[in-house]
Amino acid sequence: MGTINHPDLQLALKDFLIEEEKLTQVVYRMTKEMKMGLSKETHARAAVKCFVTYVQDLPTGKERGKFLALDLGGSNFRVLLVIIRGDSDLQTESRTYVFPETLMTGTAKELFDFITECLVQFCRQFGLENEGLPLGFTFSFPCHQQGLSKGTLVAWTKGFRVEGVVGRNVVELLQEAITRRGEISVTVVALINDTVGTLLSTAYFNNNCRIGLIVGTGTNACYVEKTVNAECFEGYQTSPKPYMVINTEWGAFGDNGVLEFVRTPYDKVIDKETVNPGRQTFEKCISGMYMGEMVRLILIDMMAKGVMFRNESSEKLLQRGSFSTSYISDIESDAPGEYRMCNKVLHNLGLRGNQESDRLNLRYICEAVSSRSAKLCACGLVTLINKMNINEVAIAVDGSVYRYHPTYPSMLEHHMKKLLKPGVKFELVCSEDGSGRGAALAAATTVKNK
């Protein structure tokens, strides 16, 4: 970042420029919180829950067979056929089905009957009705897993409010709908979320992969833990398998107040406006759902103080959510001294922005928000690497912020290097279709180990 000339803007952005000493403290505090989540004794009151996923085998690249996968995590729903031929040879056929909005607030029967209807259509198209294929289900809503193919929905998110699903085993609801329909022979063998899918789909091609990270609308990560440390798993002391994938649900880090020393007044305003105030504290500092809103609040503040866009006003900017997070990526993708994308964004907001200083300052605000996100995300990844105590690791990453922000991957790498012990090597790998392929690979490793 360049030099910010105006003292009011300097003051507003000061808290976003977290120095290394504080970042080290974030790592220390997150380590402590994770240990609480893993321990049977403290799990119930832990903010970072570290849920057991029951995934104990990562793909080896030697899996073979045909597998079905379902991916439900938002407004689109996909069915996939994944043919695995071993030696990292993987072929995918997929179909996306538009999800009728009425289903998001309907009943459990309507939802699972619709999923089954799409699955039947797909199986007919590829002549799979009687093959008895195993199926992996990526269901990206918070679930409490009691087994690899058993998970009860804790709460709906993303605008879903389907009756009769919370507290129920979603695999059972799906299997019942398939049986009720009676037209295809399919067995649901694995239930995972998108971070686990991201990890599995990359681990298939890269046997060094031990972490799955999502930085998109929300943020979460999973990692490979020693089974003996996963105390919430029944057989943690006697399991013949040395490892267990842990879903950290790290978005909730700080819900107990331990992140107050890095939060800004703007974070507090955003939190109050959300549907879940006081929850998902870490996520609200990092993810795409909140970054654009953060920039909007700072910008409104600066305009009110006469620091930027003097004598201009924007009706649109006063609306919550009007500054899309994608605008941050656009503004930061302009080359130094160029403002093509920035001008486009200002035009959308109804601002003229004739002063170069205004456009420069807007870029500073965007950089402050996105670099803080990358710094805190780096803290999370460093915590996981330290926890595993390994010297070399590949991290599978997915999500719109990571994929589309021009410098996010390099910022993440830069801050991780500064925080990690010397000599620790890591690589960030952009995951290919974690929620689709990952579910099929979860099914493949399950079947192989039976």
Domains in the chain: boundaries:
1-53+206-433, 56-192
**Phi and psi based region of residue 108 (left: phi greater than 0; alpha: psi -120 to 50; beta: remaining):** alpha
The helix (run of H) or strand (run of E) holding residue 77 is strand 76-86
pLDDT surpasses 60 at 94: yes
pLDDT surpasses 70 at 3: no
Tell me which of 57, 71, 194, 433 is the catalytic residue: 194
Tell me which of 22, 32, 40, 158 is the catalytic residue: 158
pLDDT surpasses 90 at 100: no
Structure token pair of residue 380: 């999370």
At 443, give phi and psi (nearest 5°).
Answer: -65, -40
pLDDT in tens, 216-264: 988 999 999 999 999 999 989 999 999 999 999 999 999 999 999 999 9
pLDDT top residue among 23 and 432: 23
Query: How far is CA 188 from each of CA 110, 138, 249, 439, rounded to the nearest angstrom?
Result: 19, 11, 24, 11
CATH no., domain 1-53+206-433: 3.40.367.20
| Cα separation, 252 vs 278, whole angstroms | 9
pLDDT surpasses 70 at 286: yes
- Going through 198-266 in order, the beta strands assigned E by DSSP cover 209-215, 219-226, 243-247
Residue 141 — very low, low, confident or very high, per pLDDT cuts 50/70/90?
A: confident
> Is residue 40 among the annotated active site residues?
no
Give the other-Cβ count within 10 Å of 242's Cβ.
10
Residue type, 2: G
pLDDT surpasses 70 at 421: yes
As a whole number, mean pLDDT of residues 347-359 equals: 91
The helix (run of H) or strand (run of E) holding residue 2 is none
pLDDT surpasses 80 at 1: no
Mention the CATH class of domain 56-192. Answer: alpha beta
Are the C-beta atoms of residues 90 and 82 closer than 8 Å to each other? yes
Q: What is the mean pLDDT of the chain?
A: 93
pLDDT in tens, 16-66: 999 999 999 999 999 999 999 999 999 999 999 999 999 999 998 888 999
Closest by CA to 210, choosing from 391, 421, 412, is 391
pLDDT in tens, 358-412: 999 999 999 999 999 999 999 999 999 999 999 999 999 999 999 999 999 999 9
Q: What is the largest CA-CA distance in the chain?
A: 70
Cβ burial, residue 193 (10 Å; 0-12/13-18/19+): buried
> Is residue 194 among the annotated active site residues?
yes
Do 1-53+206-433 and 56-192 come out as alike in CATH topology? Answer: no
